[in-house]
């Protein structure tokens, strides 16, 4: 194989990200009315505690059966049993730094070394002042598999709760603290 | 779950060789990073199913004129008409086919059609500044737009952003996701721009600068720029194993 090509660097989405990245149906990982669907809501704050009003989150997740409709899923790509399941969502923050995604609970996943990953979503955070996206994961409270999840296990005990959503009236709440006290765990993927 | 318990999951693996290409999250010259960059180091995450798959967003998202920012209104936008084209590749030079490319930009006067952009340059009723395209089977994309203007911002005294077009790329896997900016060759504003210079490596910075492409210009109609985008490549060994299985 020839010498690898140099990669294109990341740059911030800047304050006008909404022009290019807002989709009318962005928040809908699953369509409105999908049985079992819930809202994942959260607020993004910076190191001073101020709301981050010019950011966007993107989510990616397995379907409720733990499947990805993707050719690199070695178990085989297959369309989800949930009609209209996109697996992907994107939502910009509002004037109070809040985002919301409409989705369903992902299934657990097998790993290459025989473990099981607890149900989770992965989130990218883009924003003014973020020169590259930040990546985090959302886990759900009360899942027995959280105790043995191979990713949660690698995170310091005292920071692990930053990756756990909290129950909310219409689903779950997952706040993101970019910096400082209770800083959300971000991953190098 | 349909996994055969005896069979190991063999996943593609994407090289993490882009650390030096990307800017440090804390780049104090770009003031907004100071309160937004995490203080804690990133936690290493082995790539698993969630990271090596990703949204493959298709034709359903594209309108017929989404790639031509000069034909999205009744009239033509003001400014220098340009063709912006190139390929989306991975680090091994493989084309990334059928992947969504999203762009957004300021108009020829350097003004964005956005409520938060209020500096006194005119809006253009014939220019929204948003484009979308899918790469073809060779990873090629093609936009028609107008040359964006430079614009002032309040980062430092008399700060101006060099002209740029924002690019958003999905690639094939979550781990390849990239948002970047395309710049124009020879821009005199580079030296004072902390966002461009947040990329420390000079050669990496130059990979954000498009190439003037005279061959692709259309005589008496438009200038042209070529901008190839390189996303992460895959680990060769794992890729070969995967081929063997097929």
The CA distance from B224 to B219, in Å, is 10
Model pLDDT for residues A45-71, shown as the tens digit of each residue: 999 999 999 999 999 999 999 999 999
The reply to whether A2 falls in a domain is no
Q: Among A1-15, A90-104, B108-122, name the one with the lowest average pLDDT.
A: A1-15
CATH number at residue A93: 2.60.130.10
Give me the active site residues of B, please: 112, 151, 161, 164, 166
The reply to whether A140 falls in a domain is yes
Which one is predicted more confidently, B5 or B156?
Answer: B156
The reply to whether A12 falls in a domain is no
Chain A within 8 Å of B38 (Cβ-Cβ)? Answer: yes
In CATH, the number for domain B31-245 is 2.60.130.10
Is the pLDDT confidence value at A41 over 60? yes
Is the pLDDT confidence value at B5 over 70? no
Q: Using CA atoms in the order B117, B118, B121, B127, what is the torsion angle rounded to 10 degrees? A: 40
User: By CB neighbour count within 10 A (0-12 exposed, 13-18 middle, 19+ buried), where does B139 fall?
Assistant: buried
Q: What is chain B's mean pLDDT, rounded?
A: 92
Instruction: Taking residues A174-188, report their average pLDDT.
Output: 97
pLDDT band with cut points at 50, 70 and 90 for residue A2: low
Model pLDDT for residues A120-151, shown as the tens digit of each residue: 999 999 999 999 999 999 999 999 999 999 99
Closest-CA residue of A relative to B113 is A19
The CA distance from B186 to B164, in Å, is 12
- B54:A70 CB<8 A: yes
At residue B160's C-alpha, the angle toward residues B181 and B163, to 5°, is: 35
The reply to whether A89 falls in a domain is yes
Closest-CA residue of A relative to B237 is A1
- A7:B208 CB<8 A: no
For position B231, what pLDDT does the model report?
97
Q: What percent of chain B has pLDDT over 70?
A: 93
Longest CA pairwise span in chain B (Å)? 66
At residue A148's C-alpha, the angle toward residues A142 and A152, to 5°, is: 80
Give the residue numbers spanning the domain of A76.
Answer: 17-177
Please spell the DSSP secondary structure of B112-158, one letter per residue: -SSTT--SSS---TT---EEEEE--TTSEEEEEEEPPPPEEESSSTT
Among B12, B82, B72, B34, which Cα is nearest to A130's?
Answer: B34
For position B9, what pLDDT does the model report?
83
User: Does residue A66 contact residue A47 with C-beta atoms inside 8 Å?
Assistant: no
- Chain A CB contacts of B199 under 8 Å are 9, 11
For position A114, what pLDDT does the model report?
87
Chain A within 8 Å of B55 (Cβ-Cβ)? Answer: yes
- A66:B1 CB<8 A: yes
**ipTM of the complex, rounded to two decimals:** 0.97
Give the count of domains, chain A: 1
The reply to whether A159 falls in a domain is yes
pLDDT band with cut points at 50, 70 and 90 for residue B6: very low
Nearest to A73 among B53, B174, B195 (CB): B53
- B180:A131 CB<8 A: no
User: Does residue A144 contact residue A12 with C-beta atoms inside 8 Å?
Assistant: no
Instruction: Taking residues A6-30, report their average pLDDT.
Output: 96
List, in sequence order, every residue forming a beta bridge with B115; answer none if it has no partner.
none
């Amino acid at each position: 194989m020839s010498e690898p090509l140099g990669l294109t660097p990341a740059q911030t989405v800047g304050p006008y990200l909404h022009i290019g990245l807002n989709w009318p149906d962005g928040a809908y990982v699953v369509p409105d009315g999908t049985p079992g669907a819930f809202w994942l809501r959260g607020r993004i704050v910076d190191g001073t505690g101020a709301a981050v009003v010019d950011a966007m989150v993107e989510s990616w997740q397995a379907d409720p059966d733990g499947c990805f409709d993707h050719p690199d899923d070695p178990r085989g790509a297959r369309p989800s049993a949930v009609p209209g399941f996109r697996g992907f969502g994107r939502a910009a923050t509002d004037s109070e730094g809040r985002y919301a995604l409409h989705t369903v609970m992902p299934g657990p996943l097998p790993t290459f070394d025989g473990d099981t990953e607890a149900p989770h979503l992965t989130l990218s955070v883009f924003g003014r002042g973020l020169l590259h996206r930040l990546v985090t994961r959302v886990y759900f409270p009360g899942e027995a598999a959280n105790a043995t999840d191979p990713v949660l296990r690698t995170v310091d005990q005292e920071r692990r709760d930053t990756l756990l959503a909290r129950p909310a009236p219409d689903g779950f709440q997952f706040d993101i603290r970019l910096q400082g006290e209770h800083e959300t765990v971000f991953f190098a993927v | 779950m349909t996994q055969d318990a005896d069979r190991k999951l063999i996943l593609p693996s994407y090289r993490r060789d882009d650390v030096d290409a990307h800017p440090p999250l804390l780049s104090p010259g770009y003031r907004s990073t100071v309160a937004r960059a995490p203080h804690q180091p990133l936690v290493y995450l082995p790539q698993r199913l969630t990271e090596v798959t990703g949204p493959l967003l298709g034709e359903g998202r594209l309108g017929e004129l989404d790639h031509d920012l000069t034909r999205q209104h009744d009239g033509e936008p003001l400014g220098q008409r340009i063709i912006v084209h190139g390929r989306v590749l991975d680090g091994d030079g493989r084309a990334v086919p059928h992947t969504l490319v999203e762009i957004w930009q300021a108009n020829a006067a350097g003004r964005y059609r956005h409520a938060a952009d209020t500096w006194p340059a005119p809006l253009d009723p014939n220019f929204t500044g948003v484009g979308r395209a899918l790469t073809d089977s060779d990873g090629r994309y093609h936009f028609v737009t107008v040359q964006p203007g430079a614009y002032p911002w309040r980062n430092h005294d008399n700060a101006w952003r060099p002209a740029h077009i924002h690019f958003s790329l999905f690639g094939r896997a979550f781990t390849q996701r990239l948002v970047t900016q395309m710049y124009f060759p020879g821009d005199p504003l580079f030296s004072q721009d902390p966002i461009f210079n947040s990329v420390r490596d000079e050669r990496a910075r130059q990979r954000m600068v498009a190439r003037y492409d005279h061959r692709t210009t259309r005589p008496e109609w438009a200038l042209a720029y070529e901008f190839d985008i390189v996303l992460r490549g895959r680990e060769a060994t794992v890729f070969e194993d995967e081929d063997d299985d097929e």
